[in-house]
Structure 1
Amino acid sequence: MPVWIIATILAAFFQNLRFLLQRHLKVTTLSTMGATWARFAFSMPLAALALALWLGVTGQALPSPTPAFWGYALTGAIGQMLATACVVTLFGRRNFAVGVTLAKTDVILSALIGLVLLGEAVSLPVALAIVVGFAGVMLLSDPPRGDVALGLRARLFNAASGYGLLSGLLFGLSAVCYRGATLSLEGGDDLLRAATALVVATFVQTLTLGLWLAWREAGQIGRVLASWRVSGPMGLTSMLGSLAWFTAFALQTAAYVKALGQIELVFTFLVSAFWLGERSSAKEIAGALLLVVSVLIIFLGALP
């Protein structure tokens, strides 16, 4: 099995755990930006430690950054930070499973952005998988019961869909930029280039959002540090998931990785049903099944 497939599945699994812990922080303790910063602040030292350990074990030197690397890394870091804030905000509007799923518009958007920025096209089966997955997202974008649902217009323009689509755009941009960043580093193996790009990105995110919190929500920094019992494990799952994502991006185009990464929804719905006790409608389940079909198309097409 190709390494990028294994890395993507691991990334999706750890990301699901991270979203669960982040949701807990958002609904119990922290503000949207506080819960967002907690993810970066607690994962950045762990990412740096992982990079140092890999350097020590392999005896490699740090890859040499290029001007293109800094452009891709900074753009990806800011895009991911804002996308994460959108998802955390979304948790207050839809249930856990639907909130994460709406962000999956990043699959089709990463394909388009990747074509524009990196000139990386997708094959016909992958394009089909993306279309099937997008149909599933559309089914999941109906307003929750009790809200006004007026057909396609209501599906596209309710607040939850707006946050989901914006997060998808930003996640798609960050995915393509992170692939560009790993490809722009000179020297080192795939894992070393992935870890290097990850450390730079999380440092930028921790510093940028930390300064914003100090200016606008100073009390949140103390609350984040006090939440270490939850934020610590969240930082660990975030680091493991991000390292797996970056490794997959170093090996395969962002569109392929993101399309297969929809397997996260299987984990998400299991957590939603059996841990959080949330109930999903028949239409939401149908949308999730379409996304599973999309994942299977990618998986079977990628096997030798």
Structure 2
Amino acid sequence: MALWIPITIFAAFMQNLRFLLQRHLKVTTLSTAGATWARFAYSAPLVAVLVVVYLGLSGQALPRPDLRFWAFLVPGALAQILATMCVVALFAFRNFPVGITLKKSEVMLSALIGFILLGEGLSGVLIVAIVVGFVGVVLLSDPPRPDAALPIWRRVVNRASGFGLASGVLFGVSAVGYRGASLALPDGDVFLRASLTLAAATAVQTLALGAWLALRERGEIARVAASWRVSAPMGVASMLGSLGWFTAFTLQTAALVKALGQIELLFTFLFSVFWLGERSSAKELTGVAFLLASIGLIFLGSL
């Protein structure tokens, strides 16, 4: 089995756990921006320590990032901030599994963005997968109790679908940006390049969003600090999940990693049913099925 496969499955599980903890922070304590910043603030120091320890253990020299590295990393890091905020905000409109599934439009969009920015192939099977996935997103975007008098396009164009699709675009940009940044490093093994890229990204995110909170949401940073009982475990889950994603992106194309990463949907529904006690409608489950079919086509098309 290729190494990127178990790494991606592990990353998907940890990401699902992190979003679950972020959802808790959003609905109980913090604002959307605060719950987003908590993820970066509590994971950034852990990643920095990890890089230092790994450098000492491996005996490697620290790679020197060049302009190409930062040109990929900074847009990717900022896109991930906005994408995470979109997902956290989405939880106020739809239940946990539907919110995560709408976010998973990133699979289709990563394939397109990777083709545009990195020249990674887009076969006929991948194009079909994108169309199938679009049908799934439409079904999930239609509210549970729609106004039958409105046409379908009016029902699916709503805040939930807007946040979901926006997060998909932004997560697609961040995935491709991180892959480009990791590949731009001149030397170092896979784990060192992945962890250094992650450390640089979380540092940029912590500083950028922290400055915004200090200026626009007075007192929110103090509330994040006070929420450490939930935020600290979320930071650990975030670090482990992100490290898994970054390593997988270094080993494989962003589209294929994101395709396999849709196993997160299985974890999401298990958490939703057995932890949150939520239920999904038949239409929402059909939409999930279309997205899973899209995922399968992407995976097959990349073999």
Q: Same fold (TM over 0.5)?
A: yes
Distance 1:240 1:64, change over 3 A: same
The Cα shift of 1:127 comes to 4.1
> Are the aligned partners of 2:146 and 2:155 in contact in 1 as well (CA < 8 Å)?
no
What is the match of residue 203 of structure 2?
203
What is the percentage of aligned positions where both structures have the same residue?
Answer: 66
Alignment partners' CA distance in 2, 1:207 and 1:229: 22
Aligned-partner residue type, residue 74 of structure 1: V
CA distance in 1, matches of 2:208, 2:259: 30
Q: 1:85 corresponds to which residue?
A: 85
Larger CA deviation: 195-204 vs 253-262: 253-262
Residue 235, structure 1, aligned to residue 209, structure 2: no
- Change in CA separation of 1:148 and 1:31 when aligned onto 2, cut-off 3 Å: farther
1:274 and 1:191 mapped to 2: Cα distance? 34
Query: Per-residue deviation at 1:223?
Result: 0.5
Q: Secondary structure at the match of 2:64?
A: coil
Alignment of 1:87-102 (within 5 A): 87-102=87-102
What runs of 5+ residues in structure 2 fail to find an aligned partner? Answer: none
Does structure 2 retain, via aligned residues, the 8 Å contact 1:11–1:241?
yes
How far apart are the structure 2 equivalents of 1:144 and 1:198? Answer: 38
Distance 1:147 1:21, change over 3 A: farther
Cα deviations by residue, 1:3-48 (Å, 9 ceiling, x for unpaired):
1111211111110000000000000000010000000000101111
SS in structure 2 of the partner of residue 17 of structure 1: helix
Contact 2:77/2:205, CA 8 A, preserved across alignment? yes
Partner of residue 25, structure 1:
25
Higher mean Cα deviation, 20-29 or 150-159?
Answer: 150-159
Question: Offset at 1:103?
Answer: 1.0
Q: How does 1:141-180 map to 2 (within 5 A)?
A: 141-145=141-145, 150-180=150-180
1:193-241 per-position Cα deviation (integer Å, ceiling 9, x unaligned): 0100000000000001111111111211011001000000000000011
Write the distance in 1 (CA, Å) between the matches of 2:162 and 2:34: 21
Counterpart of 1:103? 103
For residues 246-265 of structure 1, give each alpha carbon's deviation from its aligned partner in whole angstroms, at most 9, with x where no partner exists. 11111111111112211111
Distance 1:233 1:250 in 2: 26
Residue identity opposite 1:204 in structure 2: V
TM-score (norm: length of structure 2): 0.94
Q: Which stretches in structure 1 are left out of the alignment for 5+ residues? A: none
- CA drift of 1:116 comes to 1.1
What SS does structure 1 have at the residue aligned with 2:143? coil
SS in 1 for 2:276: coil
Pair 1:275-2:275 in alignment: yes
- Aligned pairs for 1:177-256 (under 5 A) are 177-256=177-256
- Match of 2:71? 71
CA RMSD of aligned residues (A): 1.8
Query: Which residue in 2 is equivalent to 1:59?
Result: 59
